[in-house]
Structure 1
Amino acid sequence: MEEQDRRRWGQSRRFEFMEWKLFWEGTLNRGDLEDTFGISTPQASLDLRMYREVTGENTVYDSSEKAYVPSPQIAPRFLRVSADRLLLQLRAWLTGALRREDLWFRSMPPVDITPDITRNVDASCLRRILEAMRSRKGLEVQYQSLTNTRWRIIAPHALAFDGFRWHVRAWACDRGEFRDFVISRIDQIGEAREVDYDARDDLEWSTKVTLKLRPHPRLGDAQRHAIERDYAMIDGYREIEARLSMAYYFIRRMNLDLVDLPPERLQLSLENLSEVQNAMQSAKSESKARIGGRQRRSSLPQASD
């Protein structure tokens, strides 16, 4: 049964590949299957015949091209068509995160991205952080902030990417609160420590808020229409759900808390900015109250039998 499941998975994967080639490149032949999956010509021919039997009129054979081409009414059944996914793969290839052979293009389209200044994350550092998250322990870390370098004890419980940098969300023992630490600023990691904390107290992480985006109100009608199309807005709005701790970075990255920039530069406005900022402050205050209450309860003498 296991071997049969593997064969079915392999065939489904090849069917997905066929639809990818047809949808995105507009052509498919036996050689594509042979080269990508290392299968024989008879197996490739069998796959093509079976695919056509299963999907009906998705493909047409073009004798002049000696290849299959998509029919006008192609409806992929094995491929999840996503422009976002394809563009992310191209970006991953350009940044070195994805190998060329992992992309199914016969020849790559001309593509480029703006230079990206990556923040180096050491693999051994990330491994120790993940270990601490699994074991719910703290770590001694030498952390380089913008003001000083010192050893601290933090208890990681989540990872987060703000669009530029990777952070570890952690209980900061010296501060008595949950904070974000930029992973690339951790210079050294010492011993693991037993730490008394509860990740459920991190309400800025666990609480989500809806960001209500709209075109900047000072834009003209044509400009607003363009922004609405850019962000797939409905009735002039785009709502995005985010954790409170991540909403902070999103607002800063998109300059949504600034009012003195030209509307053409800002483009977007956060209609419920004050509501989101109040929610952040409320979550921080409630977290402190919960942590303080738990610490007071744990310090009370236990009743004896």
Structure 2
Amino acid sequence: MSKEQQARFHFIEVFAKWLGRVNASHIMAYFDLSRQAASRTITQYMAKYPENLIYNESLKGFLPTSQFSAKTSVGAFSEYQQITRVNQSKYLASIEHIELPNREPEPKLVQPILRAINEKLAIDIGYLSLSNPHYLDRIIEPHSLVFDGLRYHVRAFCHKNNDYRDFVLSRFNGELNDEFKATHGAQDDRLWHTQLEVVIMADSRLSPAQKRVIELDYQMKNGTSTIKTTAALVQYTLKRLHLDAYQTQAEAQQIILTPECLRAISPYLPKPA
């Protein structure tokens, strides 16, 4: 299958799953195709995956069948969001996205880190911290990049602390003073390989009716939902869930950790200053 056909089949699946139907007009608008070419794309998809779609005369479109399963997509709503961001034509439901500060790293910051990761190098590089706003040399042995949803971190062995630490990517200056073969890799990072489960529940201060709403929001089963993470990443998981700070109002807090989960992950959380 060509990349072009893959993209068109992906579009068909995403629209069928999330919009509930797909037709030639959708494909024409998104890919700037003729009606003949758009209809031919649907025919080709139907020939390859006949169990996925069925034509509905009254709606003038193809609907997902009860046997529908993703073949060229992952089935995530984010795929539909991505499509609407690329082309908000009259055929696409508009989804607004909150604009955040641009925290894209510069290539000069990423390149030495990626090279060190790929070639298993230790590097001597300048780094800023909140405790010292001037660039100081740090010798680190990076093994992974981590995106927490807002910014990138570098997971690395730090020679200064003789332990694995997280560094904010944007705080490096990108200038190498030295490099040599690394002796500490991901395989030695205990917290990186320690598996944890973050188990959330509706805030116990909410009413039973309010709890049911929250359980629906988070697709909880039997009152809880579980997110898998590692000890090295658990603090970022809690931040994404807004569980790094406790709200005085239950309606603002909405979810909390189960007592068992809190006890299990507490040893891996940053100690209060």
Task: Report if TM-score (shorter chain) is over 0.5.
Answer: yes
Aligned partner of 1:181 in structure 2 is 167
1:276 maps to which of 246, 256, 265: 265
2-structure distance, mates of 1:153, 1:230: 44
Cα offset, 1:35, TM superposition? 7.3
2:81 maps to which of 87, 90, 100: 87
State the Cα deviation string for residues 263-302 of structure 1 (Å, max 9, x = none). 2221111112121112569xxxxxxxxxxxxxxxxxxxxx
1-structure distance, mates of 2:218, 2:14: 26
Unmatched 5+ stretches in structure 2 = none
2-structure distance, mates of 1:47, 1:194: 52
Aligned partner of 1:132 in structure 2 is 116
1:36 and 2:31 correspond: yes
1-structure distance, mates of 2:56, 2:233: 48
1:17 and 2:6 correspond: no
Aligned partner of 1:256 in structure 2 is 243
1-structure distance, mates of 2:159, 2:197: 31
2:203 maps to which of 204, 216, 220: 216
1:114 and 2:108 correspond: no
> How do 1:219-298 and structure 2 match up within 5 A?
219-256=206-243, 258-259=245-246, 261-271=248-258, 272-278=261-267
- Contact conserved, 1:34 with 1:44, CA < 8 A, in 2? no
State the Cα deviation string for residues 192-251 of structure 1 (Å, max 9, x = none). 223322322211111110111111111111111111001000000001110111112222
Aligned partner of 1:297 in structure 2 is none
**Matched residue type, 1:251:** L
Cα offset, 1:255, TM superposition? 4.7
2-structure distance, mates of 1:30, 1:164: 36
Cα offset, 1:152, TM superposition? 0.9
Q: More strand by proportion, 1 or 2?
A: 2
Unmatched 5+ stretches in structure 1 = 94-99, 282-305
In the superposition, the TM-score normalised over structure 2's length comes to 0.79
Equivalences, count: 260
CA RMSD of aligned residues (A): 3.3
- Contact conserved, 2:112 with 2:174, CA < 8 A, in 1? no
Cα offset, 1:176, TM superposition? 0.6
Aligned partner of 1:143 in structure 2 is 127
Cα offset, 1:184, TM superposition? 0.7
- Contact conserved, 1:19 with 1:76, CA < 8 A, in 2? no
Q: More helix by proportion, 1 or 2?
A: 1
**Matched residue type, 1:240:** I
**Matched residue type, 2:117:** M
The structure with more radius of gyration? 1
Aligned partner of 2:194 in structure 1 is 207
